[in-house]
Structure 1
Amino acid sequence: MSSRRAATGGGPLGKPTADQGSAEPSGRHLSTGASGHTALKAIAAVLALVLVGGVVFGAVQLLRLRGNFDTQPLNLGSGDAPAEVVDTNTDPMQILVLGTDERDGQNSNNSDVMMLVNLSADRSNVTVVSFPRDLLVPLPECEDPSSGTVYDAMDLGQLNGALGNGGPGCTVAAINDVTGLSIDHFMMADFDAVKELSNTLGGVEVCVNQPVDDPLSGLDLPAGVSSVQGDQALAFLRTRHGFGDGGDEGRIRAQQSFLASMVRKVKEEGTLNNLPKLYSLAETVTKNLTVDDGLADIPDLVSLATRLKDVDLGKVAFVTVPVMPYEYDTNRLVINEEAAQPLFDALVSDQGVSAAETSAPAAPAETGTPGAPAATEPAAVEPTAVDPAAVPVTLVNASGKAGRDAQVLEFLTSKGFVQALAGGSAAAESPATQIFYGYGYEEMALEVARTLNIPSVQVVLSAVTTGVYLEVGADFATGSTMRDLGDLGDLDGQTAAQVTCQSAFGN
């Protein structure tokens, strides 16, 4: 066998990573119930991922779908123990979803999207962790199963390049080492899958605050809400220069917003209960999907999908792994271990990261977030250094309900925001409440958000804003404070219950 070193990244290693050879999440049991119906099991496996914006399989015409699979080994890390077969009724499950930048027959050595999907054992929580493609992590030694080429371990290498070190099994091994998990499965889809899936769904609604025209990705959207599919859906997910500061953070935020919108649509339309729709989606996706060899051996995943269809939207969380700039190259990122460890610990111990009310009735239809919990009083606000009386905040009404700016203004004034002003109605209605703030006003904006129970993902820096500007959207059409849509604590991201809009680059 030949040996060579992967070309991406380089530099010193921070805190050593423990050997994951024997590390396994708790609650795992070896299963003895595997049957010969491998096609049904494989199809149901992907069906379970619909609630996290993944791909969907119908449990019909199994023989026709069976030949669509490509498979590769799950884990290429040397010395790693094979993942145990999970019991879908009692065990947590991790599935690494990879999106490649392969298209038009061109091969790719990089993963354009890396999302770790964690399904809790009781199926009450779904956590989707995004890993930036500029992230540097320790890379394990991996052997390409096709060529026999051995790629040496690296102290620090670019995570999205691990795919080129033998296949998705090397990415699985690297993330196992970083998180302390033992990932059960992977699913890898190319660009054609994204385009065709969005077409089959009939489009996915996205929201942008300003018109976006990004010639690099081809994204061209007017301000407001649009239904995107095909090439525009792909461009929305891929654009690196269209949103935020033009970097990967804005791109991941847009991806999470797109997936949350997809989850809401699938749940609202009852797709999991509609076999014709499921089969149509199955035909679309299986032609562009690569899975691990063991995926077809998982038993009883139809029951898993049945249980997931009722998961609370406020407990479907899309988060980004905490990162910070790499000291030797600020264009690259490394994991912020202090901030990330609680997230990894929660995943290993089978804990969700979102706290949402699940016993309350569904939100009114006027809010635009079907299935979200009803209004609740926010948790006690911790004392801050911000004096509400010093916060210059202007409110505008974009909710579609007359007088909302005045109602929220009255509540803010009662809480000491004496500089708050009503600015009338916005130019257009918005599905999402947003707080825009100018440079130097972040803490003031967050104080307004804490007072009104507005999630931090809806607090946005704006280069064209002075002070604090609150746009009351359709998700805040009633009450003095926003209802609980799932609290992610200090993590960056959103829940599927939250509607978010993207700001165009430079705005």
Structure 2
Amino acid sequence: MVRPRDNRADGTGSPVRSNAAARHTEDTSVGPARHLGAAPRTPVWLKATTLIISVLLVGVVAFGAYWFIRLQGNITKQALGAGNSRTEDAVDEAKDRMQILILGSDTRDGKNSQYGSAAESTGYGHSDVMMLMDISADNKRVSVVSFPRDLLVDIPKCVDQKTKREFPAQKNVMINAAMSEAGIGCAVDTVNKITGLEVDHFMMADFNSVKELSNTVGGVDVCVSDAIYDPDSGLRLPKGTSKVQGEQALSFVRTRHAFGDGSDLGRIKAQQGFLSSLVRKIKDDGTFSNPGRMLGIADAITKNLTIDDGLASVPTLLTVGNRLKDIDVSKVAFVAAPTEPAVSDQNRLQLAEPAASQLFAAMRKDIDLTDPAAKPDASASASASAEPSASQSPAAPAYNKALQPVTVANGSGDPARAKELVAALTAGGFTQTGQLTAKAVAKTAVYYGADFADVAADVAALLGIPASQVLPAAGVSGVQVYVGRDYAGATQQPDAPATLPPDIVNQTAGDTVCQQANPALITR
């Protein structure tokens, strides 16, 4: 093919047009670049819409980033434990059963300086409030167990995870002192020791958090039986229902003398009543479905919050919060750990047995405290389908555990061992227990009298004692557990019955309860 020659000897002529370009116009002076390169003009409305959408997207991203950075920056962290061993893996916050220890710190520095001098709260401060929140895996129920600050307990050896300083174990000291030396992790380890559970997370708030949260939600309704004035906390309320927020809300949850008989137990019931009302208000106001309100609450909480490393991210906190939004308020149970005046100090409290062991055993078994007789749900039934057939299952004991005499002779050299064993036996249904003084021995044995061989075998299985160490003894009436220095610790049978003390639940979040005023502080 012969290409047409360029007429421009000096390079100034028109370019040669291709045949394809020539087909589109009769004007031979129109070049292909000009014709083929022309693009339709973008409509003004499309440009404006694109600009608006871009601005909105940038705004949304900037808004989200601002709140994420702000909330994340609010959070203060501490270690979950204090050096004591754990046997459970980390939970999946989205779907596993989860226990969170909620603490109220009495620290008096920074924003809390108006409530006293820093010297009044030594070290990490004391836990002014201690509640264990237990969220079921199916998100259908929550249990909140309160521990009085005056409760005397044994605190395990703890190591401050910041300084690595070790603090020795303490016996018969107030539970609110657990975190004062080695940090919040020591409070967590103490609750683990008491309950036999392994707490997954903790949240600690200070005085200021109650004020800011109550202001953010627009006040919380509380009810008292009579008009009261507590000069110590500054709480003054008329008879009936009042809305409290800010300083008045803080006074309501802090007062130690305004309710009941003026003890810490009255304060626990008032705190539970306050939280019940707060839960109802948040759900009734549709807060969980209102992003603006949720951000306000999140900001108020995180500014005054210390949490463990595993919980210390905004997405994780949102995941936990999302699990709570659809729970029926009648399935949010508020409980107080069963207590009685302490033998060593009548102004303090100790765990009341067997009620405390029964409660903690029920919690370990994940029993619905509002309905202990409830049947397992479908998912639980499905997981139990692999259990042995009736021909393989052990026969039910041919005796009443509650009537069997079981004594504990403590030859371990550890005074706390007898109490531990009695608690384990009681939780397993053997409530007729007693203790004997005993000489120190190296090896543990379970002795039994005539006709008690089956009871002794069950007792040994409950306590994790090998069958080879179960022996007949002519001088024993019933069953005697003679614990030696080799004993590692009590274990619980997974199928041991859970018996709850009557009226263990103080109230649910669905109950509106008027707090009984302390007669000494009633005003006319």
> Same fold by TM-score, threshold 0.5 exceeded?
yes
- Give the drift of 1:188: 0.4
Contact conserved, 2:179 with 2:187, CA < 8 A, in 1? Answer: yes
Question: Does 2:164 correspond to 1:148?
Answer: yes
Q: 2:72 is matched by which residue type in structure 1?
A: R
- Give the drift of 1:202: 0.5
Q: In structure 2, what is the equivalent of residue 324 of structure 1?
A: 340
Contact conserved, 1:87 with 1:299, CA < 8 A, in 2? Answer: no
Q: In structure 1, what is the equivalent of residue 360 of structure 2?
A: 344
Could you tell me which of 70, 95, 115 is aligned with 2:100? 95
Question: Does 2:202 correspond to 1:186?
Answer: yes
Change (3 A) 1:299 1:350: farther
* Alpha-carbon separation, structure 2, partners of 1:59 and 1:336: 50
* Alpha-carbon separation, structure 2, partners of 1:159 and 1:264: 30
Contact conserved, 1:142 with 1:152, CA < 8 A, in 2? Answer: yes
> Equivalent residue of 2:164, what SS?
coil
Change (3 A) 1:165 1:235: same
Q: In structure 1, what is the equivalent of residue 153 of structure 2?
A: 137
* Alpha-carbon separation, structure 2, partners of 1:153 and 1:300: 33
> Equivalent residue of 2:103, what SS?
strand
Question: Does 2:509 correspond to 1:496?
Answer: yes
> Equivalent residue of 2:172, what SS?
strand
* Alpha-carbon separation, structure 1, partners of 2:87 and 2:305: 22
**Map 1:43-62 → 2, pairs under 5 A:** 61-62=67-68
- Give the drift of 1:182: 0.5
Q: Identity, % of aligned pairs?
A: 50
Contact conserved, 1:76 with 1:170, CA < 8 A, in 2? Answer: yes
* Alpha-carbon separation, structure 2, partners of 1:59 and 1:115: 33
Q: In structure 2, what is the equivalent of residue 213 of structure 1?
A: 229
Could you tell me which of 80, 86, 91 is aligned with 2:91? 86
Change (3 A) 1:269 1:357: farther
- Give the drift of 1:313: 1.2
Tell me the alpha carbon deviations over residues 382-404 of structure 1, each in whole angstroms, 9 at most, x when there is no partner: xxxxxxxxxxxxxxxxxxxxxxx
Contact conserved, 2:333 with 2:505, CA < 8 A, in 1? Answer: no
- Higher alpha-carbon Rg: 2
> Equivalent residue of 2:312, what SS?
helix
Could you tell me which of 74, 77, 86 is aligned with 1:71? 77
Q: Which runs of 5+ in 2 are unaligned?
A: 1-63, 375-499
Q: 1:276 is matched by which residue type in structure 2?
A: G
> Equivalent residue of 1:337, what SS?
coil
Contact conserved, 1:97 with 1:188, CA < 8 A, in 2? Answer: yes
* Alpha-carbon separation, structure 2, partners of 1:300 and 1:206: 31
* Alpha-carbon separation, structure 2, partners of 1:357 and 1:338: 19
Could you tell me which of 271, 282, 291 is aligned with 1:275? 291
More helix per residue: 2
Q: In structure 2, what is the equivalent of residue 125 of structure 1?
A: 141
**Map 1:106-505 → 2, pairs under 5 A:** 107=118, 108=121, 109-296=125-312, 302=318, 304-355=320-371, 489-505=502-518
- Give the drift of 1:503: 2.1
* Alpha-carbon separation, structure 2, partners of 1:69 and 1:271: 22
> Equivalent residue of 1:174, what SS?
helix
Q: 2:257 is matched by which residue type in structure 1?
A: H
Change (3 A) 1:328 1:303: closer
Q: 2:93 is matched by which residue type in structure 1?
A: T
* Alpha-carbon separation, structure 2, partners of 1:199 and 1:331: 35
Q: In structure 1, what is the equivalent of residue 494 of structure 2?
A: none
* Alpha-carbon separation, structure 2, partners of 1:235 and 1:350: 34
* Alpha-carbon separation, structure 2, partners of 1:350 and 1:281: 30
Change (3 A) 1:60 1:184: farther
> Equivalent residue of 1:318, what SS?
strand
> Equivalent residue of 1:330, what SS?
coil
* Alpha-carbon separation, structure 2, partners of 1:263 and 1:357: 26
Q: CA RMSD in A?
A: 2.4
Change (3 A) 1:89 1:331: same
Aligned residues: 321
Q: 2:71 is matched by which residue type in structure 1?
A: L
Change (3 A) 1:323 1:95: same
> Equivalent residue of 2:347, what SS?
strand
Q: Which runs of 5+ in 1 are unaligned?
A: 1-57, 359-486
Point out which structure has higher relative CO (alpha carbons under 8 A, 6+ apart): 1
TM-score normalised by the chain length of structure 2: 0.58
- Give the drift of 1:75: 0.6
